[in-house]
Amino acid sequence: MSRTEETLIDGGLQQTAWLTAGCHVSAGAAWALHRPVSAWLIDRFGMPPFTDRLKYFTVHGVAQRAAAIDRMLDARLSEWEANGDTYEVWSLGAGFDSRWYSLGGRPGLRRYLEFDLPDLLTRKRALLDASPYAQEYARVIAMPGEVQETVAAAAPEEGNRLMVVIEGMIDYLDAEEKRRLLADLAAKQGGCEVIVDVQNGHLTRHNNRRAERATGTAVVRFSPAPDHPEHFYTAATGFRLHATEALFPGLFKARFPRLGLLLPLPERVRRSYLLLHLVPAR
């Protein structure tokens, strides 16, 4: 590992945050994903040292996920803006992501909050304060701490609608932690909506084995996921399902264009990775 790589992850920052930025850069063009801030970070520090051991579905899956969230988020925020609503966006487990940059010019956005561990957000602030994006990032509000505890104590400003984006994070929580996080969000004054990517149990087991081979460690692991995520995330959580997008079929067809047209995927594979848009049940 080079010295610049050591600097980027100094202080115990998760390598997954660095990996996410790298995937946005290396595979973003294939999914029409534009992340100039990630490109700046990777240009300065390089890719994570284990990237060459990652498979197509991991690298492209991270980029595809971000692009799909951007589309789903844009559709909903555009509806709110058409109604004259103001809103704020909370990014849970924000890492080095930079969705705040693309949202900065939206007329309805009043606040953008990032929730993550203190060391990571401190390092991110120091890096971006010395970047060409310092002015834009100065408007982002850092919410350091254990994400679930910080979210439970936070509140949107009066008059703002609330959109919560949980990207690449929720499957690290166990079942009870997932339920508690969703319950805290559902209880926010005025309600909130959530866009979240979720795996089923089949995929988390597969990804844990793959991650261990790629990184040589079992430290970062997904928790066991429900076999039927759509039911789990709407059963007694205070939310109902507004929209769902199955992400894996698009990845499979992009990787195997001819085979993807001919080979029907088993249900547990086709529905193994979903993007959910949750709205208040009441």
C-alpha–C-alpha distance, residues 105 and 266, integer Å: 42
**CB contact at 8 A, 144 and 121:** yes
Amino acid at site 94: A
Note the pLDDT of residue 194: 98
pLDDT at 267 exceeding the cut of 90: no
Note the pLDDT of residue 9: 53
- SS3 percent helix, strand, coil of the chain, rounded to 5, is 50, 15, 30
Which residue would you say has higher pLDDT here, 156 or 265? 156
DSSP 3-state of 92: strand
DSSP 169: -
Mean pLDDT for the chain? 88
Cα 43 off chain centre by: 22
pLDDT tens, residue by residue, 216-265: 665 557 888 888 899 999 987 899 999 999 999 999 889 988 775 666 78
Reading the block at residue 242, the tokens are 């507004």
pLDDT at 23 exceeding the cut of 80: yes
60-88: average pLDDT = 97
C-alpha–C-alpha distance, residues 11 and 3, integer Å: 14
Note the pLDDT of residue 242: 97
pLDDT at 170 exceeding the cut of 70: yes
Note the pLDDT of residue 87: 98
Note the pLDDT of residue 218: 59
Note the pLDDT of residue 147: 94
Picking from 99, 101, 108, the residue whose alpha carbon sits closest to that of residue 76 is 108
Percent of the chain having pLDDT more than 90? Answer: 66
119-138: average pLDDT = 94
pLDDT at 43 exceeding the cut of 50: yes
pLDDT tens, residue by residue, 82-116: 999 999 999 999 999 999 999 999 999 999 999 99
Amino acid at site 101: Y
66-95: average pLDDT = 97
pLDDT at 1 exceeding the cut of 50: no
45 pLDDT band (50/70/90 cuts)? confident
Note the pLDDT of residue 219: 56
Note the pLDDT of residue 72: 98
Q: Phi and psi (nearest 5°) for 191?
A: 75, 175
Q: Phi and psi (nearest 5°) for 91?
A: -105, 115
Note the pLDDT of residue 6: 44
C-alpha–C-alpha distance, residues 210 and 220, integer Å: 11
